[in-house]
Chain A
Amino acid sequence: MIRRFSIARLSIGSRLFVSATLCSLIILFGAGFVLSTIYRRATERSFDERLQVYVQSVAANVATKNTANAIDPYGLGDPRFTLPLSGWYWQVRTEGRLTPEVLSSLSLFGGRLPRLDSLNIPAHDGSAREGFIIGPDERRLRLVERALELPDGSRYLVQIAGNADEVELAIMSFRNALWTSFGLLALALGLTTIFQVRFGLLPLSRLSNEIGAIRRGTSDRIGGSFPDDISPVADEINLLLDVNRDILARARTQVGNLAHALKTPLSVLINEASETDTPLSDKVLEQTSLMRDQVNWHLDRARAAARAGAIGVVTDIAPAVAGLERTFLKIFSYKQLAIASALEPDLKFRGEKQDLEEMLGNLVDNACKWARTEVFIQALAFTDPDGRPFIIFEISDDGPGLPAEKRAEVVKRGERLDETVPGTGLGLSIVADLAKLYGGDLALEKAEKGGLKAILRLPAV
Chain B
Amino acid sequence: MRLLVVEDDRDLNRQLVKALTQAGYAVDAAFDGEEGQFLGETEPYDAVILDLGLPKIDGASVLESWREAGRAMPVLVLTARDAWSDKVKSFDAGADDYVTKPFHIEEILARLRALVRRASGHASSDLVCGPVRVDTRSGRVLVNGEAVRLTSHEYRLMSYLMHHVGRIISRTELVEHLYDQDFDRDSNTIEVFVGRLRKKLGIDVIKTIRGLGYVLEPPTPPAA
With A288-B102, A354-B83 given, can you name 12 additional A-B contacts, CB distance below 8 Å? Answer: A256-B81, A259-B82, A263-B102, A267-B102, A292-B102, A296-B82, A323-B88, A324-B84, A326-B92, A327-B91, A334-B118, A361-B87
Give the docked Cα–Cα distance between A71 and B28 (Å). 148
Q: Which residues of B contact A330 (CB under 8 A)?
A: 91, 95-97
Within 8 Å by CB of B80, from A259, A268, A327, lies A259
Tell me the residues in window 76-116 of chain B with beta carbons closer than 8 Å to chain A beta carbons: 79-85, 87-88, 91-92, 95-98, 100-106, 114
B9 interface contact, C-beta 8 A = yes
Contact across chains for B114 and A334 when beta carbons are under 8 A apart: yes
**Given A259-B81, A264-B12: A326 touches B101 (CB 8 Å cut-off):** no
Give the docked Cα–Cα distance between A366 and B84 (Å). 13
Give the docked Cα–Cα distance between A362 and B88 (Å). 12
B218 interface contact, C-beta 8 A = no
Contact across chains for A323 and B92 when beta carbons are under 8 A apart: yes
Within 8 Å by CB of A264, from B9, B82, B85, B97, lies B9
Contact across chains for B85 and A354 when beta carbons are under 8 A apart: yes
Contact across chains for B96 and A260 when beta carbons are under 8 A apart: no
A357 interface contact, C-beta 8 A = yes
Contact across chains for A270 and B83 when beta carbons are under 8 A apart: no
Q: Which residues of B contact A358 (CB under 8 A)?
A: 83-85
A interface residues, Cβ below 8 angstroms from B: 256, 259-272, 274, 288, 292, 296, 303, 323-324, 326-327, 330-331, 333-334, 353-354, 357-358, 360-362, 365
Contact across chains for B103 and A267 when beta carbons are under 8 A apart: yes
Min CB distance B12 to A, Å, is 5
A319 and chain B: residue at smallest CB distance:
B88
A-B contact pairs, 11 of them (CB 8 A): A261-B80, A264-B12, A270-B102, A270-B103, A271-B15, A274-B104, A326-B88, A353-B85, A357-B83, A357-B88, A361-B84
Within 8 Å by CB of A267, from B84, B85, B101, lies B101
**Given A260-B80, A264-B80, A267-B102: A327 touches B12 (CB 8 Å cut-off):** no
Q: Which residues of A contact B100 (CB under 8 A)?
A: 263
B98 and chain A: residue at smallest CB distance:
A331
Q: Which 5 residue pairs spanning A and B have beta carbons closest together?
A: A361-B84, A266-B102, A263-B80, A263-B101, A260-B80
Most A CB atoms within 10 A — which of B91, B102, B114? B102
Q: Which residues of A contact B84 (CB under 8 A)?
A: 324, 327, 357-358, 360-362, 365
Q: Which residues of B contact A303 (CB under 8 A)?
A: 83
**Given A259-B80, A259-B81, A264-B12: A327 touches B88 (CB 8 Å cut-off):** yes
Contact across chains for A326 and B102 when beta carbons are under 8 A apart: no
B11 interface contact, C-beta 8 A = yes
A353 and chain B: residue at smallest CB distance:
B85
Most A CB atoms within 10 A — which of B79, B88, B98? B88
Q: Which residues of A contact B213 (CB under 8 A)?
A: none
Give the docked Cα–Cα distance between A74 and B23 (Å). 150
B53 interface contact, C-beta 8 A = yes
Contact across chains for B104 and A271 when beta carbons are under 8 A apart: yes
B19 interface contact, C-beta 8 A = yes
Give the docked Cα–Cα distance between A263 and B9 (Å). 11
Give the docked Cα–Cα distance between A362 and B91 (Å). 16
Min CB distance B194 to A, Å, is 33
Contact across chains for B87 and A270 when beta carbons are under 8 A apart: no
Contact across chains for B105 and A271 when beta carbons are under 8 A apart: yes
Min CB distance A443 to B, Å, is 21
Give the docked Cα–Cα distance between A273 and B88 (Å). 32
Q: Which residues of B contact A261 (CB under 8 A)?
A: 80
A327 and chain B: residue at smallest CB distance:
B91
Q: Which residues of B contact A260 (CB under 8 A)?
A: 53, 79-81, 101
Most A CB atoms within 10 A — which of B12, B84, B97? B84
Q: Which residues of A contact B11 (CB under 8 A)?
A: 268, 272
Min CB distance A359 to B, Å, is 8
Give the docked Cα–Cα distance between A326 and B15 (Å). 32
Min CB distance B53 to A, Å, is 5
Give the docked Cα–Cα distance between A327 and B11 (Å). 30
Q: Which residues of A contact B79 (CB under 8 A)?
A: 260
Most B CB atoms within 10 A — which of A262, A361, A362? A361
Q: Which residues of A contact B85 (CB under 8 A)?
A: 353-354, 357-358, 361
Give the docked Cα–Cα distance between A270 and B105 (Å). 9
Min CB distance B50 to A, Å, is 14
A330 and chain B: residue at smallest CB distance:
B91
B15 and chain A: residue at smallest CB distance:
A271
Give the docked Cα–Cα distance between A109 and B179 (Å). 151
B10 and chain A: residue at smallest CB distance:
A268
Min CB distance B28 to A, Å, is 19
Contact across chains for B97 and A331 when beta carbons are under 8 A apart: yes
Q: Which residues of A contact B97 (CB under 8 A)?
A: 330-331
Q: Which residues of B contact A326 (CB under 8 A)?
A: 88, 91-92
Q: Which residues of B contact A266 (CB under 8 A)?
A: 101-102
Q: Which residues of A contact B96 (CB under 8 A)?
A: 330
Min CB distance A413 to B, Å, is 20
B9 and chain A: residue at smallest CB distance:
A264
Give the docked Cα–Cα distance between A357 and B82 (Å). 12
Contact across chains for A268 and B91 when beta carbons are under 8 A apart: no
Give the docked Cα–Cα distance between A253 and B96 (Å). 25
Q: Which residues of B contact A354 (CB under 8 A)?
A: 83, 85
Min CB distance B16 to A, Å, is 8
Q: Which residues of B contact A362 (CB under 8 A)?
A: 84
Give the docked Cα–Cα distance between A256 and B86 (Å). 10
Min CB distance A108 to B, Å, is 112
Contact across chains for A271 and B83 when beta carbons are under 8 A apart: no
Give the docked Cα–Cα distance between A164 and B158 (Å). 137
Q: Which residues of B contact A269 (CB under 8 A)?
A: 102
Q: Which residues of B contact A263 (CB under 8 A)?
A: 80, 100-102
Give the docked Cα–Cα distance between A333 and B106 (Å). 21
Contact across chains for B102 and A333 when beta carbons are under 8 A apart: no
Give the docked Cα–Cα distance between A303 and B79 (Å). 17
Min CB distance B5 to A, Å, is 13
Q: Which residues of B contact A292 (CB under 8 A)?
A: 102
B123 and chain A: residue at smallest CB distance:
A334
Min CB distance A41 to B, Å, is 88
Q: Which residues of B contact A268 (CB under 8 A)?
A: 9, 11-12, 15
Give the docked Cα–Cα distance between A363 and B110 (Å). 25
